Structure 1
């Protein structure tokens, strides 16, 4: 069967009776059958194995009868299965060349290895030992006899005969290459060191003459154009795409510091619509807009999909994650990008879309704060415009003149983004072609159009000119360059036909003032399907508010919004093109100390409007309908509200304690960076680096706490509480000096229960 155009093993073993030519009831095998074999002495029994090493012996005539299950101790996958003719042995081979042998005989009985009840194999007689020769430094070499030969030996050939200039011996492999060499399917490969890179194995060739010998055959010299082509321009090195390689540990294993040696964090490019990253970073480094976005996430914003809140979360993360890759915000809908998309047009359209939304979402009229005072503005005016309008708004006045009757009328116009207009070739414009002149003409733009004049009632030509007073200019100008053809690109090239931007821009202005956040209480009617017994958390009292160093236990569950995209190469290796996109589904935070230790104070199920591809119920405990407000029995919380709660805990410097399946990358994935000094991870406490294998929370709870968890389904509260108990058990063992001994016992016991590791 196929899933998403990929082969996937059928979870049912289909059985057919050849005597009656009919199908028997299928045998369920959820792990996916890889190999099937019939037992010789039990004709109705078959052996079914999966690639993961699960062996199941079932009776095909009675599928309801309990079968035999065995789990092979292996670290790779099965490649073969065979059963001995007597049915005594079942042999399985894995990808590492190990043969796993199973037998149905008791341990104290002896069975022949070949599995046959025949005569023993006659073995050959032992050869007589060779005579011992006393060997010392004075023993002559001719004491050892040589076989008779009638032709010269190969070792007697001279170097002249053994070598030839046409087939020289291969050059020795440099030791730098041998030290990093790896083997894969008997093929050795190694990366080329930096000191060996360059032009190699090249033969210098003189210039080839393709011109004709006669004057009449010589082509005319065509004028050369050194200006780079607009369609096929080579991208500068610092603008080129850096591809993120994904290992089995995810994007957190990627070394961003190799490409970014500054203290400024970047945005990841593995998600769709990553072309918006540069614009988001530009807004982040405008300090008034950054402070506005950060202060907006502290308010009670009623909008679930607020772009200003998203910008605030990213700004906080870009400040905290020094030189690390951060996830870009979900500013636009996820979807498949077209390969022929015009990003120059798309980014400028998105620029206008984003600024318009930030203006409307940050507008709390009539309670807008006054961020900056413009020259000549009446500071006594109690009402202020939207914050983005105060920073980027251009208060213009359009003067419209009728060419017939010279009637003049004015129209107020507020715009936030100016599109640059360029002089036409061969036009009559007398203005210069420098940047200042182009910007002036774009601000004071003159246009003509035809319409019916309301004064003279004639269909006439109107001239419209935008007038802007110098005191009405904003502190920051937002411009769209509008470079869509080679003619406009010429204005951005210097005399050497190289692109340029001003090396330094001086901005005059005042720092942003503190913005007062006014909270509003919204009363919402609870859904009729809500189950009050499902509410298991108790809010923090005033005396329980977190302080720096307060211990809390947290667990997060996720659902899959997009499957992982991979490709398999010809050498059998697997490359992750785009990792799976997960979305936060549930967050549980427990008190880590105090009289109510282990009692949750946050247990939120997150509402999502996107289509969920996989609920990951086996790992998350989230079922169909739990995140749907129509059918859910939980009180669903917007994702932004959960972000604000977690952001508040991080800002209060609470000491987070993560369990084994919820690592700090889960919080980083949600655009919230947790400093390492605030993190205590259970999976790192009970871990020996030499073993290279991490222990599961379920196994640790069974062995250390003598508790059975995750028996029916995953519960984030139960998992977080178990992780908290394991942390206190670690402290007790560490104080007694018995932790290392206990950890060795855990790993020793774990070898016998590989299936629950």
Structure 2
């Protein structure tokens, strides 16, 4: 007598309540405002949440088994007795009682011509829609009737036959033509039929179910094919019930252990053709105030309201200790003074129409000049600025101020105002310092740091040597910024860097004419290639000899190659049939996005786009040796091995890609909200301060504590990649807390954790900038602060600030555009004996 409802294709529990304390539920009928439940002597109408709308008790001698909704307000109820009750749902009263000649009606169906009543004796009677009189009767089965269904002009039954003083399941389905009112050729099936339903989507297919969990699909006028038999993985030994959704897109099976099995033709299944919005219960709101981090300068104290009190406040100063400071009146327009006429002491003049009504400059120039003597302290990105409500870029992400040297040099500049950590920033005033954030990313990648610090060669301009020196300076610094002058000077001498357009003039950086997002992605590809070339000729240092390898840096290879390189198989197929396979390697991957012309936009997981980008397939014109001319060629790319560090260029260079990221983030937000609390937040809904509180229980596995922290997130914090034995790649989103199962081979299954994100800040006032979010590991905290923990930090030149992990993956495409992602293999540092012996 207990009922439980589930929501959506994932079968999330919606409600659960007790219908009857003693009797079982015989049939369920869903209505617009609730659900009807039929028990042995009771008809209950309850809301979907379990509230009773009405409860109708019948005579104790009744034994009801089936009900049929004939229209919106009329219901037929039948059972093992010799009558059928007609009830009005509006008045909840019995309106008619029809006498039946053969008792025991357990199944009822309806068409536009007849009522169909299935009896326990194996007969099916066809009754008039108005008088309920018997028009026709089919003696379908000699034993008993199990199930039947009606569609169009066909009636199909299944049941039992009497054999040797017992009942045996009849493997022949009886098929009747309702136009001629006679039986046609019976349909022989390969299972013991117990339930059957028509699924009239494209054809009038039948779904035939046995109690052991076998399911067969066939046409009622054709032959049953054994290949169309499917099996339900039942928990209990028997299938007890079966039904088809109103949209014919889903099949539901219920077994004897109380489990529901859902089959559907697509992941996004629709149960009803015209569904209404589902009402969800409000989550349990705990009346607590949001947590404030006292070390964060950006959090306003007004988030916590002041309690009402009758006592005097500390801010209520006596009038003697304060002086009113009214806003100064602006000067009168000279045109008004010129045309003014005086009558007594009153002057009047026509409106010169130079300003709109009530328009006045908020800040007067005279007032600004009064504070010029106090502007020696440089303006801070976390300080107060004019009209902050007009600035959409968060203060800590804005371009930091230029350092103005005085007579005392750097000692006159307070860097602690921008960096309260012991990690070192980089000064931004040097030409081509746009790459500061990427230098920090490489520095906090422990194998790369040890590689370049152990590197020493005889070249005059070697980026590896200069980068090792810069990393050594970052190691020694205790919060003070460092200069990358030597590295950037060597960088400007590389011919390839100039050819790729990576060398900027001072005017280009100042005016903001350069697309920094595209530039830093090209710089990322260049620096990895350059370091790989500069280090592959030398023997790998002792620090990089792993436990199972003899020489990590053999001739022709490098640690950069070991970390980032992937061996790729490029296959070109001409339409003449000639196939060309070429093996190459790559140090990073560029995201390839699907065509966004389809409306509405499709929901993609980040893992799907990543797999599409790695295993790329494209059509292009290429030279064919067989045809001896350029031909349309299908080029496919497959990966042969997985890297230790996965580097991804996001390639968000136009509004098309930005709209794609924005749409996918909205889909992810909707799914996260549905997973947490069952809420569907529409696009137009704004999140108020009160909704900052946690929706749902955070102890149930939710990784984000507030609604705001779920916005603008699409990329996962971890990715699982697997190479099958046939060298096919599987990519899936993963969780930071999940571990591999014991059956997974660690040599072919890699879990990557997000290590860094580089973003392009769009700011029309300053020309934009590049910042990085970096997950600093335990070894760096141990060296700098003497503690062992991991923490995400924002690196904006010499501004360094700890941030939450969700902020590292939040991308508001109006001002914060993703450029580069770094995923590092889990427990990467354990693979190497990382000992840095700086040769400088």
Q: Which has the higher strand share?
A: 2
TM-score between both structures, scaled by the size of structure 1: 0.34
Q: Which has the higher helix share?
A: 1
